[in-house]
């Protein structure tokens, strides 16, 4: 049960990042800023983002995010 709650929590936090990316498509992505939005350290954010979305932030095409989330 705890793992399911943790996963949902992480998904919600990463959803905030995805929303930010969508709202700022013309801006360069800064991993430190994205990590702050998700309330993770940059290292932990990068690991979770890659693990849950399958790619790094710099390689992510915003159009493919909605198919994963």
pTM: 0.77
How many independent structural domains does the chain possess?
1
User: Region 53-57: what's the mean pLDDT?
Assistant: 83
d(CA 38, CA 16): 7
Place of tokens 């430190």: 32
Q: Residue 11: which domain range? A: 2-68
d(CA 3, CA 44): 17
Is residue 40 within 8 A of residue 10, CB to CB? The reply is: no
Q: What is the mean pLDDT of the chain?
A: 84
d(CA 11, CA 17): 10
Supply 21's token pair.
């990316």
Res 50 pLDDT > 80: yes
């Amino acid at each position: 049960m705890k793992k399911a709650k943790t996963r949902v929590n992480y998904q919600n936090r990463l959803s905030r990042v995805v929303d930010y990316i969508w709202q700022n498509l013309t801006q360069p992505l800064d991993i430190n800023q994205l990590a702050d939005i998700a309330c993770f350290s940059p290292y932990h954010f990068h690991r979770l983002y890659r693990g849950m979305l399958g790619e790094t932030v710099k390689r992510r095409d915003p159009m493919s995010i909605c198919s994963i989330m």
